Structure formats: C-alpha cells, structure tokens
Structure 1
Amino acid sequence: MGESISEGTIINWLVEEGDSFNEGDIILEVATDKVDNEVPAPASGKLIKTLFQAKDVVPVGTVIATLELSEAGSVSSDTPKAVASDSKSSKPKKQTKKPKAAPQPQVSTGSFSTSNTNTFFSPLVIKIAKEHHVSFEELARIPATGKDDRLRKSDIFNYIEEGRPYKFAQPITQDPTAYRIPQLNFDKGKGKVIEMDRMRQMIADHMVYSKHTSPHVTAYVEADLTNMVNWRNANKVAFQEKYGERLTFTPLFVEAVAKAVKDFPNINASVDGNNIIVKEDINIGMATALPSGNLIVPVVKNADTKDLKTIAANVNELAGKARENKLAGDDIKGSTFTISNVGTFGSVMGTPIINQPEVAILALGIIKKRPEVIETENGDEIAIRSMMYLSLSFDHRVVDGFLGGSFVRRVADYFEQFDTNKKI
C-alpha cells in the first residue's frame, strides 16, 4: 500500500463473519497515512473470523482475518486461509497460522505512579523507544490516548518533545527536599472541541517525527520571475488550445526544479542509518490541499525526462484527482524531492517541514510585483518586476550550507533565466 508504510487503520469491514463473497468483492477498507485502500477478495469464499475491528491500527504483516476460499467459486471445506495487511501488495496473504500476540514487557513500577494501565506496547512504539533510549518503566508513565489506554506513536513523540518529564522520576519515598521536575498543567482555554480526523492525526505524527529526525536548516533567496510570468501570460491560451491542458505556474516550477536537482544530485537523497542513498530517479512531489484542508503529496515521476506538455498533463491530472479524493497509491508514492507552493495561499515565504525520508523541501512564495533596481545599458534603473522568495529547508545531517544554498540559488537562476523565446 505504499513505500515506508509500517501500519494501517481498518476503516470498515464490508463483509461480516459468516457471510459469503465472490472473487473481487471488497472485503474491507484500510487507511494508511497516504491513501485509503479497498482490499478485494482473492477468490470466492466465506469470512470465518475477523481479528481486528474498525479503527484498530494494525502493523504491516499482521494477520487480520481468516477466510475459507474456493478457487472454483464456491465455498470449500479446505483449511481456512488467513488474510494479512501488506505494504507491498493489496492482495491478501494466505497463511494457516494465527498471529502470535506480541510479548508484553514486564514493567516494574515499584512506587512510581503510572499514567496508563495498558502495558502492551506495539512494535512501532517499542522501536521508537529503543531509538530514543526510553525504558519500559518510562513508557508506562507516558499518558496514552489510544484505544483501551494503548500508547500511540504520537503520544511518545509528544512526550519526547516535552523534554521527557518522567525520565528521572523518583520513588515517592525519596527525600522530599530533592529536586523534582515540575509537572506543568497548561491552561488550554475553552471553546469548541474538534477531534482530529485520521489523516490529520497521521500528518501530525509525521511532522513531529520529521522535526525530531532531521535537524532543519532553512536557506532563502529572491528570484525575479518577470520573464517567466510574461511568457506564461502570453502563451497560456495558445498552450491550452494546442494541448488541451491548462498552463499554470506549477509545471514551469517542476521543470526548473528538476533541472536543478540534476545539477546537484546529492539533494535528491535519503538517509539510511550511516548511509546516504542518492536516488537515480528524479520524482518531484507537490504538496497539495485536499477538500478537507489536509495536505497530500502527489508525485510527478521522472520529471527530468519529460517536456513541459507532459509535465503540465501530469500536474493537472494529479491536482484533479486530489480535488475529487481519487488519488491512488501509485500517485503519491516514490517522491524524492518535494515543492510546496505556499504562494497560492498568499504567503510571502514559508519554512517547510521536510517530507521524510527526503533530505530537503522547497517552498515557493507569492509572485508579487515590486519596484526593483535593475542594470540596463543606461545604468541602474528602477522597474516594476515580478519577484518571489524561495526557501529551502534541508536536513543538516547530510546537506551542508554550501549544497543547500547553491541548490536553491540554482533554482532561482533557472527561474530568472527563463527562455522568453521558448516554443510551446
């Protein structure tokens, strides 16, 4: 269901226990942090048992139900087959063993006060705890917001962001004069309470994770887009008449960014432990708003190999799918570098958060006419120019100031040196 997916949320079972189904019928809907997926039946049969319910979060590879399948199209008496969630295929896996419950860690609380009663921690939570050297005793003190008092990954990231207030918690029998970490209770105010939807929760988790993973540094440059703006205004009608595609600024931006990425390939990378993976393909992600207000990142694949007509067609298709909530898994998979056009919201500039596992993201501000000093044959003159601020956030673990600054300057150069004689 997508690269880097580690878990999915069961939205709804469309077939109940004991019910029969035909091959291709949708058995359930599964949501990931990227897209909702319908899981079809691999063959006709009957649903024997569901092991998880709606709204349960299930790690990849976990058995979620047992089916009795019949390749002939009718229910057989063969041993029931198991269906597992899988990030590499939407086709259910066949297994004969039921899943083993994850071992529950033995939490020795002693005189400590625990914040949650459920000491079952998911493999993802345990992995995060190991990465940040958080003990099981410390995990047991973290306030949990999940179902049945289960600890969610957002809970542990929020706890780490707050400075791990229970890290050095002491038994209540300690000398009362000893230092205590203050337990701060902030006044959050009163008002209308709106519960985050599933996608907003996942976005929140990813943003916090990105800030904790990558030391963000932001570089800024200013670009004169007058030539690009004038060319686009003069050719947008003819472009649509010739190709049947709207010519927005986004395809022009994608084309220029792909060229700059090709000039500085190390910006097109991800981090794997102590290794840097420089990607062969240049796939440009575009941060796009959904009708709900949430953001998603559809991807223009191999942007460096496509002409403006093809890029425009890809951009328009992806934007249309986003507006209609019809983006598929492949549409949002494989991004190697992301751009966020904050100018569409009227923002002068932005400080974007890196789209993991990438190492940089470019924010494009509003195009605004301003009086600028320009050099001409007659010397310096003041003219009305179309200006834009560009801001590049990059992962300082692997991208230093020279690479980050040089790259964003190169993007600005491609914007400024736009060929006004370019043919459509």
Structure 2
Amino acid sequence: MDFPLPPVGEGLIEVELVRWLVRPGDAVARGQGLAEVMSDKASMEVPSPFAGTITALAATPGTKIQVGQHLLSYNAVGDGAQTTSASGGHKPPEASSETFPDASSETSPDATRSETPLASGRAGAAAVASTARGAQAARSPSVTPSNGHSSNPQPPAAPSVRMLARKLGVDLTRVHGSGPHGRILLDDLTPFLAPKPSNGVRAATGTSGTDTSKFDFGVAGTRQKLIGLRRKIAEHMVESKRHIPHYSYIDECDMTDVVRLRSQLREPLAKAGVKLTYLAFFVKAVSRALKEVPIVNSTFDEAAGEVVLHDRYHIGVAVAAPNGLIVPVVKDTDKKDVATIATDIERLSSDAKAGKSKIDDLRGSTFTVTSIGGIGGLISTPIINHPEVGIMGVGKVVKRPVYDAAGTLRPADIVYLSFSFDHRVLDGAIGAAFGNAVMRYLHAPALLLLPEKLGG
C-alpha cells in the first residue's frame, strides 16, 4: 500500500524531507515517527497512522515533497504479509506488539494521544535527528548509505519513554534496552536522571554552559549533504553577507554589579520557578538602548530603498540547537520586566533545542542578541540577522583586575560585547553611541528593574 504525505500544517503544501526514521523491512506501530520533515525552520515528525511493515521509501533526504505525494509503501498488519525482523528473518505480524508495544502498557490514554498527532512530533524531532545522525556515523564509515536512505531505525520504546528521553536529551540508540527484544523501559533511563557536575568556572561566573556532546561534529573522511535546517541557515547567512556591508565594534563592559544583583535575585526567583540568567539582563539593556538610539531598531527595505524604524521591541535570541542555529524571538521586551524576559528565554530556548519552536516564535525580531559565553568564547564578529541592521554578541563573563577612577586596583567581572552593524544604515559613531547606552544600563543594572519612566 502507498502512503502519501498527510497535511503537515495550515497553509503548508510542501516540506523538505530531512531524515527517514524507518527503513524497508522495519515494523512500525501506530503513532511511530516515519520521517522528519521541515518547513520554514520548523521541524516535525510524520507519525504513522497504520501498523505494519515498511516495504519501500519513495524519496531521498534533501528533496521537497508536496502534501499528497507518495512518501513510502507498506504492508499493513492483517493483510497477510509477513513482518521482517532486523536480522532478516520473518515473524508473524502479532509479534510486532513485542517489538513496538502499544503505549497502553506503560502510559495513560491521554499520554498516548499526546504522542500521536503530528504537532506533538515536533517536540523532539530536531534533537533526535542530530543525536541519531551522530550515533549512526559512529557505527558506519559512511554518513549516507549507498541507497540514499538513513539506516538508523528507532529502537523499540513506548511513547512515554520517548517523551522522557527527549526531555532528558538522551539518544535512545545509545541506551541498552532491558525489555523483551531490546525494548527500552523507563528504568533504563534511570542513569540519566542523575544531575551532571557543574563546571566550577561557570558556576562562579553564572554563565550557563552548553553541552557540546549533543552537537553533530561530523565524521572524518565522509561527505554530508547540506539539508534541512543546516541548508536554510547557510542560505540565510549568505544572503546577509551578500547584501549587508558589515562593520564590527567591540567594547569591554564591567558586569560586577550585574553579577552581584543576579546572585541576590537568583534564589528567590528560582523558588518562583524563574531561571535568571545574564542573558535576560542583556536583552533588557538592549531594549532600553534601542529606545535611545531608534535607528538601530530597524530593518532595511532594499526594494523600496527605505529604512523602517520600528516602534516595537522584539529581540531575537540565538540558540545553538543540536541541529543548527535557531533564533526565537522575545516579543515586546520594553513592556516586560527582567524576570518575565528570563522566563520567555527559558521557554523559547527549550522549545528550540527540542525542535518544537512555533513559527510565530521565530518571526518578527527587530534586533538580535547572540551569546558564545556558554561555550567559552570572549569575542565574536556575529553576522547580522537579515534584514535587521544590528546584532550584539556576548562573550564569557570573566574575572579581571581593573583600575577604578581613583587608580585603585580591584577585581571586576568583565564581558566583551561584540556589535555588528549595517554600514548602509549606521555609521561608526552611531554604533558606538548604542554600545555605550547598552553598557550604561549594565553598569547600573538596578535601573533595569524599574519601570521605564523611572529607569531612564
């Protein structure tokens, strides 16, 4: 039987096939992911509405597929077809319930339904895609098999297990299943529940670390096709560099008072469920500075030859997701306090890393902030998020000896701020004025806690 691509979202008629989650011969259960597809930076899984055996795949990763187009072929359970095991043998169709169990054995009906719809498949598509590629590459000298299809089937596990694995960032292909036929049980994820030891330097500075083990570093001696989010990032970066004459501006900012204020607020806010990071202060400081230098809060309409100055303050926050850079947007930062901004950043970042960002969360930014401090860099020269006219890069907060106004040497928490601006719109003096405004608020962060009429 042929299975066509079902509707994947309102108004979407075409998507890109990023990765197969099954291969010919695999037995699948209802609700199991068949393929990962992407449209406009939003990744999602195509769930199976049938139970049966995959007989053929009709497309190669990287190709565009329209809704209704033939996606794959299968033999449904009950059609009299034999189910082929991974070892090449044959089992009766009913044996597939052991390999791909129904969720009712480990989870409630409500939990089962939450795993079935297409929208819920977005929750872990991006993270699973990246980690699974890494696991497959480690097992094989070639990234792409000769038939052009992924050869990394999903291990047997109930939807409740898959959901927990996504939340923990665990690659199920690296988990040993203790259930029948290697089925992964909830108990098999217990070792991953233990908290990881924190880095002493990061704990001292408050910079949130990034687990680089989740990124796909590639495999030496292989070729990788540029598809999915990686291809869209490449196209967007080329467009930015081709159209925008960048110039960079870097300054050193004393963060001592921000570090002190954050340490005072972190515990009470944590009790309220708010994770307060430095990034929230940076975003709020940028929002205030944009009101002082409105030309920076703009986009360039090249067709009309006009600079569009915005009266809304939507700050993009670059997130290093496992399968590529994503820029979710914190909306109306001028109307939100630091705690609310911190909550928005945490939600948007978690969604981006899990591959379930909504389209609306990725659109409408008027300025972007990107941070490399979590990995450890001091200075960067970020590429502007076209068609914006500016971006601010944030380095790692480090302890340095500095001289104060009286010439006394004292310890200070320092961060380097790296700005890139569109030289068609902004000259160096204006860029420096904007940078000075950002740093002025970071030097006196208590102002960021006050309403704008009182805080400047």
TM-score over 0.5 (shorter chain): yes
Aligned-pair CA distance for 1:291: 2.4
Q: Alpha-carbon deviation of 1:413?
A: 1.3
AA at the equivalent of 1:290: A
1:301 matched to which residue of 2?
Answer: 331
Equivalence for 1:385 = 412
Paired residue for 1:181?
A: none
Paired position in structure 2 for 1:399? 426
C-alpha separation in 1, matches of 2:251 and 2:294: 20
Quick one: which of 282, 286, 289 aligns to 1:257?
286
Name the structure 1 match of 2:354. 324
1:198 pairs with one of 228, 231, 235: 228
From 1, 9, 15, the equivalent of 2:16 is 9
The higher relative CO (CA closer than 8 Å, separation ≥ 6) is in: 2
Counterparts in 2 of 1:56 and 1:413: CA distance versus 1, 3 Å: same
Distance 1:276 1:7, change over 3 A: farther
Give the C-alpha shift of residue 340 in structure 1. Answer: 0.5
The structural deviation recorded for 1:65 is 5.1
1:164 is matched with which residue? none
Could you list the runs of 5+ residues in structure 1 that have no partner in the other structure?
15-25, 41-51, 67-189
Distance in 1, matches of 2:248 and 2:300, equals 18
From 363, 366, 372, the equivalent of 2:396 is: 366
Identity %: 36
* 2:38 corresponds to 1:31: yes
- 1:288 match: 319
The AA in structure 2 aligned to 1:286 is V
Q: State the secondary structure of the residue aligned to 2:408.
A: strand
Give distance in 2, aligned partners of 1:27 and 1:345.
34
Read off the aligned partner of 1:193 and give its amino acid letter. R
Distance (Å, rounded) in 2 between the aligned partners of 1:406 and 1:7: 45
Letter in 2 for 1:285: G
* SS of aligned partner of 1:370: strand
Q: Deviations over 1:286-328 (max 9, x none)?
A: 0001123x11001100111111221111111112212222211
Q: Is 1:419 paired with 2:446?
A: yes
Aligned pair partner of 1:244 in 273, 289, 297? 273
Q: CA deviation at 1:39?
A: 9.7
SS in 2 for 1:343: coil
CA contact (8 A) 1:33 1:203 kept: no
- Cα gap change, 1:53 to 1:291, in 2 (>3 Å): closer
What is the rounded CA distance, in whole Å, between the counterparts of 2:448 and 2:299 in structure 1?
37
The answer to whether the Cα contact below 8 Å between 2:62 and 2:227 also exists between their aligned partners in 1 is no
Gaps of 5+ in 2: 1-7, 22-32, 48-58, 70-219, 451-456
Q: Does the 8 A contact of 1:231 with 1:420 survive in 2? A: no
- Change in 2 beyond 3 A, CA 1:421/1:407: closer
2:296: which partner in 1?
267
Which structure dedicates a bigger proportion of its chain to helix?
2
Cα offset, 1:230, TM superposition: 0.9
Q: Partner amino acid for 1:371?
A: P
CA distance in 2, matches of 1:339, 1:421: 17
Q: How does 1:148-227 map to 2 (within 5 A)?
A: 191-227=221-257
Quote the offset at 1:329 in angstroms. Answer: 0.8
Counterpart code for 1:234: Q
Instruction: Look up the match of 2:308.
Output: 277
- Whether the 8 Å contact between 1:391 and 1:408 is mirrored in structure 2 is no
| Structure 1 residue 37: Cα displacement | 5.5
Q: Secondary structure at the match of 1:345?
A: coil
Equivalent-residue separation in structure 1 for 2:18 and 2:397 (angstroms): 41
The 3-state SS of whatever aligns with 2:373 is helix
Question: Is the Cα–Cα contact under 8 Å of residues 61 and 227 in structure 2 kept in the other structure?
Answer: no
Q: How many residues are aligned here?
A: 271
Cα distance in 2 for residues equivalent to 1:255 and 1:420: 10
